[in-house]
Amino acid sequence: MVYLKKGYAPVGKFIFERENSIAMRRLLKGVNKESKIMNLREAKVEDIPQIQVVRNAVKENTLSDPSLVTNQDCEDFITKRGKGWVFEIDNSIIGFSIVDLIDNNIWALFVHPDYEKNGIGKQLHDIMIDWYFSKTKETIWLGTAPGTRAEAFYRKAGWTEIGIHGMGEIKFEMLFEKWLAIRV
């Protein structure tokens, strides 16, 4: 856990040097100014109720039926099929990512709408893909709805569109070699 000192705001591997920086103010909106505790860590089974809250709060790539993704599904993906991470502020989860080693795909990457556009998704994305490629060199893929901020996010992150998946989602992939080149 990271405790903030006056004038510094560690967020993952980024540090905002001024307490009044625009990025920090945006990130901390609505956060108790007295306690500001931020943490990016591995997901645990106990996190699943808060993960579900974030998943169901999103405005894009919504589930037509929230019961389609069960707590058991989440548990299986973070304990048996792959791994997950959460980003929290004052012990409240505001974003999460989960990768699937069995099907070689990103199962989930979501940030609560109140905290979008602050770099949290990128941190969750990068730690997840770094971990994935530390376990396998297999190409990883994902699907996302066209015309969404998620589509733009993945394009900016270097993903390559390779076709259509499922019910009209854009299918993207990331090669190990490309990820290495991006991370240098």
Q: Give, in order, the Cα–Cα distances in Å from 177 to each of 43, 138, 158.
A: 27, 10, 12
pLDDT at 96: 95
Q: Which long-range contacts (CB under 8 A, 24 or more apart) does 114-118 make?
A: 114/29, 114/30, 115/27, 115/89, 116/149, 117/26, 118/23, 118/26, 118/27
Q: Are strands 2-3 and 37-42 parallel, antiparallel or unpaired?
A: antiparallel
Q: Provide the domain count of the chain.
A: 1
* 55 belongs to a structural domain: yes
Confidence of residue 22 (pLDDT cuts 50, 70, 90): very low
Q: Is residue 33 part of a domain?
A: no
- pLDDT at residue 173 tops 70: yes
Distance CA 26, CA 44 (A): 27
8 belongs to a structural domain: no
For residue 14, being part of any structural domain is answered with no
Q: How confident is the model at residue 29 (pLDDT cuts 50, 70, 90)?
A: low
pLDDT of 35 reads 53
pLDDT band at residue 23, thresholds of 50, 70 and 90? very low
2 occurs within a structural domain: no
Helices 176-183/120-135 angle, 10° precision: 130
* Residue 37 belongs to some domain of the structure: no
Residue 27 maps to a domain: no
Task: Give kind and range of the element (H or E) at residue 12.
Answer: none
**pLDDT for the residue 15:** 34
| pLDDT bucket at 20, cuts 50 / 70 / 90 | very low
CA distances to 27, 50, 139 from 159, in Å: 26, 28, 11
Taking 90 as the threshold, does the pLDDT of residue 142 lie above it? yes
Question: What is the model's pLDDT at position 167?
Answer: 86
Measured between alpha carbons, how far is 68 from 47 in angstroms, rounded to an integer? 18
Q: Is the pLDDT of residue 6 over 90?
A: no
Domain with 159, as residue range(s), is: 42-183
Tell me if 96 is assigned to some domain.
yes
- Mean of pLDDT values over 7-34: 43
Report the pLDDT averaged over residues 38-66: 87
Question: Residue 37, Cβ neighbours under 10 Å: how many?
Answer: 15
CATH code assigned at 81:
3.40.630.30
Asked if 142 and 110 touch (Cβ cutoff 8 Å), the reply is no
Name the most confidently modeled range: 15-19, 20-24, 25-29, 70-74: 70-74
What would the pLDDT profile of 120-141 be if each residue is shown by its tens digit?
999 999 999 999 999 999 999 9
What does 133-159 look like in DSSP terms, one character per residue? Answer: HHH--S-EEEEE-TTSHHHHHHHHTT-
